[in-house]
Structures are given as structure tokens and as C-alpha cells.
Amino acid sequence: MTSSRAPARTEQTIHCELDTTQRALYDELREHYRRTLLGRVDREGLGRSKIQVLEALLRLRQAACHPGLLDRARVGEPSAKLDVLVPQLAEVLEGGHKALVFSQFTSFLAILKARLVAERMPYEYLDGRTRDRAARVNRFQGDPACRLFLVSLKAGGLGLNLTAAEYVFLLDPWWNPAVEAQAIDRTHRIGQARPVFAYRLIARNTVEEKVLELQQRKRALADAIITADEGLLRTLTREDLELLLSAPDPVGGRSR
């Protein structure tokens, strides 16, 4: 008899430390935007700087994921998140389990695909342009040899039944909990007989941590930053922007 209730669900945040090269790139970018954006806001006001603010936050989020998202010539450089993710995936596969990997950036998934090919780790893939969605889902659900499914977060948030997976990895968090929950619910739903483990990868001392901090106070603003909603960003203050562009305290790791 099939239970009408989903099994246990465990969620955990994994903090990833940027290596020297990625940290230098991120810090250089952050300092550039801190210098140029805050000055522009002081001169012209936030109302006339929203496009530049959105661009800066997007670039910083990309830098927190992989240098190759900013410059294709850097796709071969290290990424803290991939260096954490790939061994985790290998462990999941060695245990005979299946996993879903979500990202908002299809370019990040493309870099991951190349890494998986090099590691000889078979996978299935789906984004907003995928036409044969059902065939790919069926392969993942039914083929024991296909144990990884890479999914664009926007494309895979709704309408997919992926209960063959027990593990979910969110490479770049979507700050709206409802969207993240929809992704995790692709496997954590009625029909799933095993516990589900979901992991959010956060780059330490980056804008990702700052948005999480901001989210506690201004949920709508945090959502707007990620969805690039210029209208909702009307609630952004100079203090919020200064927090997002602040450097970590060299001693305690807190923003300054």
C-alpha cells in the first residue's frame, strides 16, 4: 500500500570557500562596483541607478558561482561550488542513489556538464529550451544507469515528477523560498518512498550571504534582486546597497 504522505525531508546549507583566484576576482569586482555604484547613487540617487544596481548584483552572483560566467575564457578555472559539488555527487552515485542539480544559470550547468563528462558521470539535462521533457524525465526515472539530472531552476520548478532522486543540490539559491520548495518538491512528494536530502550551496563572504541576511528583513527586496525586478527594487536603500557591496571583516568574517 502506497503512503499518502511524503517521507522525511532534510535541508542543509553548505558554505563554500572561494580559492585565491576566485576570491581575487570577486573582491576586485565588488570593489569596482562599491566605488562606482555608491558614488553614482550619491550623485544621481537610487532612482536613476537601478539598472546599474541590477547589473552589479547579477555580476557578483555570477562571480560567486564560477569565473566562467563572467568570461568564457575562464571556464577552466576553479569554482568553489563545483569543487564541493562534484565529490558530493560522486559519493551519492557510489551509494547507488540519484540526485537532482538545479541552477538559475544555464551557463553554469554547461560548465558542470563538461566537468561531469571529464569525470565519466552520466547525466540527463533539462532547461527552458528542452523539447523532449517527458523522454528525459522517463529516462531518469526508469534507467538505473542515469542517476544525475541537471535542471534549470526556472524550467524545472513545476510539473516534473522526479521521485527517483533522493538528493537535491541547489547550486545558486533562489531567495524566494517558494521557488526553492517547488524544486525540492520534484522529488519530495507522494510516491517518494525514501527520505530526501536537499543542499543549498552558498559562497562564503559574497553577495549570496548578504542577500540571505537582507532576506530576513526585506523578503520582497531580496526576491527582486534575484529576479531583476526593477519595480520592486524601489524599496532598496543606500544602506541596503552598502551592505550588499560590503567587504567581510578580516577577523570575524562579518561585513564592514
**Cα–Cα distance list, 3 to 6, 41, 181, 192 (Å):** 7, 56, 21, 9
Dihedral sign for Cα 160, 166, 172, 177, please. Answer: positive
- Given this model, what pLDDT does residue 69 score? 97
**Cα–Cα distance list, 161 to 60, 77, 133 (Å):** 33, 35, 11
DSSP class per residue in 41-53: HHHH-GGG-HHHH
List domains and CATH numbers for the chain.
Answer: 15-75+205-244 (no CATH), 80-201 (3.40.50.300)
Beta strands 196-203; 167-170: pairing state: parallel
List helix spans (H) across 103-150: 106-118, 133-142
Beta partners for residue 198, in sequence order? 11, 168
- Can you tell me the distance from the alpha carbon of 161 to that of 163, in angstroms, rounded to the nearest whole number? 6
196 three-class SS: strand
Backbone angles phi, psi at 100, to 5 degrees: -105, 140
Per-residue pLDDT of the chain (256 residues; tens, 9 = 90+): 344 566 688 889 999 999 999 999 999 999 999 999 999 999 998 888 888 988 998 999 999 999 999 999 999 999 999 999 999 999 999 999 999 999 999 999 999 999 999 999 999 999 988 888 889 999 999 999 999 999 987 765 556 788 889 999 999 877 666 777 777 777 755 456 678 899 999 999 999 998 777 766 766 666 666 666 555 566 778 888 898 898 876 544 544 4
Q: Is 182 exposed, middle or buried (0-12, 13-18, 19+ CB in 10 A)?
A: middle
- Given this model, what pLDDT does residue 239 score? 87
Beta-carbon contacts of 198 under 8 Å, excluding residues fewer than 6 positions away, are 9, 10, 11, 12, 167, 168, 169, 170, 184, 188
- Can you tell me the distance from the alpha carbon of 176 to that of 210, in angstroms, rounded to the nearest whole number? 15
**Cα–Cα distance list, 173 to 48, 56, 98, 250, 255 (Å):** 28, 17, 21, 25, 20
Single pTM value for the model: 0.85
